[in-house]
Structure 1
Amino acid sequence: MKTIFHPAGERGKVDFGWLNSHHSFSFGHWYHPDKVHFGALRVLNDDQVRGGAGFGTHPHDNMEIVSIPLSGALAHKDSTGTDGIINTGDVQIMSAGSGIQHSEYNASKTEAVNFLQVWVYPKLQNITPRYEQKTFDATRRNNQWQIVVSPDEKDGGVWINQDSLFALAQLDGGKSIDYSPRFAGNGVFFFLLEGSAEIGGQHLGQRDAIGVWDAASIAVSATENTRILAIEVPMTGEN
């Protein structure tokens, strides 16, 4: 088993007033030579957007872009014709493919929205752009993994153009569950949303993360009530 620890306090940070964002990997105005990506995982931004503010229309191509609201809601509009709201409990994905334009704004004029935006390099280039969004029952992740992103529709998650899985779990203090990568050679990036846990011999607190690879099974042991996101990706390139 190989691991790389990403303490929350070492994330990049930008504060533009309307946007307060923490970057697990190099992004925008923040660059760290040792934190460019974890395998096919390129971006993990923890964004808080002020009421009434957001990201105006801008382009993407050849990237799988996942948005997970943690509190509040996002108003999304894109060139596929999608125009709607992404609420807490939803998971949204855009396969940018050959090119897409989109905007994301806080759906509230007064309350902040906190959401994760995650970018994964695609398996196939220049596919037709696509959009998908689903609402998930959070009780189905109590002390177990709930798959929310997968290339296999039978898993019930939104579809991704990559041999990648996203899974969420809510663990009671003292509970332990294992994560076994679905695809041979994949690694897993665990991002602790809240609580504390032990993974790969490392203690993690809120917003800490750890990448694990070359492991057939990975134990996640909660030391208090904990919410966690697991992102499984191919280990392409250097970490």
Structure 2
Amino acid sequence: MKTYLHRSEDRGHVQAGWLNTYHSFSFGSWYDPRFMGVSALRVINDDTVAPHNGFGTHPHDNMEILTCVLSGTVTHKDSMGNEGHIHAGEWQLMSAGTGVRHSEINDQDIPVHLLQIWIQPNVRDAEPTYQQIKRDPREQPNKWHLIVGPNEAAPMHIRQDAEVKTAYLTRDNQLPVTTTQGLNYVHVISGKVMINNEVVNAGDALAFAENFDVTALEDSQMIWFDLPKV
């Protein structure tokens, strides 16, 4: 595929009372046929949840649901019996499989900022699972940190031939983006980077099949999705 730059301003924006959200891909009430996902990556929602509000109990099935809390704390409860907190710098992977019900609530006095990511599985109707790790790239900057991968050696195991990595890259530092699965999708959470002479700002993402370096034009945090080539 050709290099494709997905600009932040092309995302859907929904302000619905307690939820302020930006959708990289069509989701809920926001639909754009140009943005239906990339490879197995179906959803990146950049959510800010007001205090004492959140997502009440609702169902999912046959989706790998990855949550990254950027600031604040989320209280999680699900039908598998898991109940607890996801703090800033922590990641949760819920493999919905045959079906699970869950809630994600901000019961604190400050807003919560999180990314909600959905990846389509390559195995359907499997047993639901729950995984959670702490991996704050600011604590070890200028390196890629593996979050999920397709084998049991990864910190969290995903039911897809995909890897998700994150990095906090300080200004003028550089990291390689070398695909193992066939397709790269780098989403910038904050800051500004350069990839193959493209300036990629906060909220932007770049899709490419080649192997390039990413250079921080300012202190930046990003997520790299290494996805099956389509």
Same fold (TM over 0.5): yes
Q: Which residue does the alignment assign to 2:125?
A: 126
Q: Which residue does the alignment assign to 1:211?
A: 207
- Residues paired across the two proteins, number: 230
The verdict on how the C-alpha distance between 1:107 and 1:135 changes in structure 2, with shifts beyond 3 A counting, is farther
Q: Which residue does the alignment assign to 2:63?
A: 63
Q: Supply the distance in 2 between the matched residues of 1:222 and 1:139 (Cα, whole angstroms).
A: 14
User: Which AA in structure 1 matches 2:176?
Assistant: D
User: Which AA in structure 2 matches 1:76?
Assistant: H
Q: Aligned pair 1:143/2:139, yes or no? A: no
Q: Which residue does the alignment assign to 1:31?
A: 31
Q: Superposition RMSD on alpha carbons, in Å?
A: 1.4
Q: Supply the distance in 2 between the matched residues of 1:55 and 1:103 (Cα, whole angstroms).
A: 6
Q: Aligned pair 1:201/2:197, yes or no? A: yes
Point out where structure 2 has 5 or more consecutive residues left out of the alignment.
none
Cα deviation for residue 152 of structure 1 reads 2.4
Cα deviation for residue 137 of structure 1 reads 4.8
The answer to whether the 8 Å contact 1:12/1:30 transfers is: yes
Alignment partner for residue 177 of structure 1, among 171, 175, 178?
175
Point out where structure 1 has 5 or more consecutive residues left out of the alignment.
none
Stretches (4+) displaced over 6 A: none
Cα deviation for residue 105 of structure 1 reads 0.6
What are the equivalent positions in structure 2 for 1:1-239 lying under 5 Å apart? 2-108=2-108, 110-139=109-138, 141-155=140-154, 157-183=155-181, 186-213=182-209, 215=210, 217-236=211-230
User: Which AA in structure 1 matches 2:13?
Assistant: K
Cα deviation for residue 60 of structure 1 reads 0.6
Cα deviation for residue 235 of structure 1 reads 3.1
Q: Deviations over 1:120-153 (max 9, x none)?
A: 0001110000000011253564111010111223
Q: Deviations over 1:72-93 (max 9, x none)?
A: 0111111111011111111100
TM-score after normalising by structure 1 = 0.92
TM-score after normalising by structure 2 = 0.96
Q: Supply the distance in 2 between the matched residues of 1:54 and 1:181 (Cα, whole angstroms).
A: 36
- How many percent of aligned residue pairs carry the same amino acid? 38
More strand by share: 2
Q: Deviations over 1:15-37 (max 9, x none)?
A: 11100000000000101111001
3-state DSSP of counterpart to 2:74: strand
